[in-house]
Amino acid sequence: MTIATQRFTLEEYLAYDDGSDRHYELVNGDLVPMGLGTGRNGAIIKRLERILDDEIARLQQPWITVAGTVGLQSPRGEAGDTVRIPDVMVLTLAQWEALQDREAVVRLNESPPLLVAEVVSESTKSTDYRAKRVEYSVLDIPEYWIADPLKEVVTVCTLLEGWYEVAEYLAGGAIKSPRFSNLKLLDEQILRGKRF
């Protein structure tokens, strides 16, 4: 669902304020309102953020996890007129610091995030599985996680020669992450909140 008949450029999108707290993605120049997920979706996002933050601290890496607060310019559309707002991203501290004094959007000409994760809802399932998977692979994002509470599966997409290799983890499956290779994590710890 788009809300405007006017097509927005990236700069117009970054300056747009409709006076509400609603967030929008920019898709091919159109503003697309981001729907509210369920409480379960919010819990999964928070869980992913905590799990990744804890593992980053354990590894003592100069990375940071951000949840729903940083945009990602996509190659989709003309002249960079698409911006996605992933549910969770892992950035380097250098990337994070570069965003401190400007609009928080990782641009096409910048290094991609280390990892992006989306949490599927009824309204986003097609976009999360199809459009974003293609867009994120073109951006050379090395790892893309899709946490799907509707199907009770976590999908880990690993970039290999420009395409994502896909591994699906069903109930009780131990998730394997190339970026976080020592992470001991079951899909149910993400999807149902079970502790480590």
What is the pLDDT, as a whole number, of residue 77? 65
For the stretch 139-191, pLDDT in tens is: 999 999 999 999 999 999 999 999 999 999 987 778 899 999 988 887 778 88
What is the pLDDT, as a whole number, of residue 195? 47
Residue 175 lies in domain: 36-191
Please work out, in degrees rounded to the nearest 5, the angle formed at the alpha carbon of residue 165 by the alpha carbons of 162 and 44.
110
Q: Which of 95, 44, 101, 92 is nearest to 68 (CA)?
A: 44
What is the pLDDT, as a whole number, of residue 119? 95
73-108 burial by CB neighbour count: b if 16+ within 10 A, else e?
Answer: bbebbeebbbbbbbbbbbbeeebbebbeeeeebbee
Residue 106 lies in a domain: yes
Eight-class DSSP state of 65: E
More confident residue, 90 or 18: 90
Residue 158 lies in a domain: yes
Domain total of the chain: 1
**Domain of 139: which CATH number?**
3.90.1570.10
Compute the mean pLDDT over every residue in the chain, rounded to the nearest whole number.
Answer: 88
Residue 39: pLDDT band (50, 70, 90) is: confident
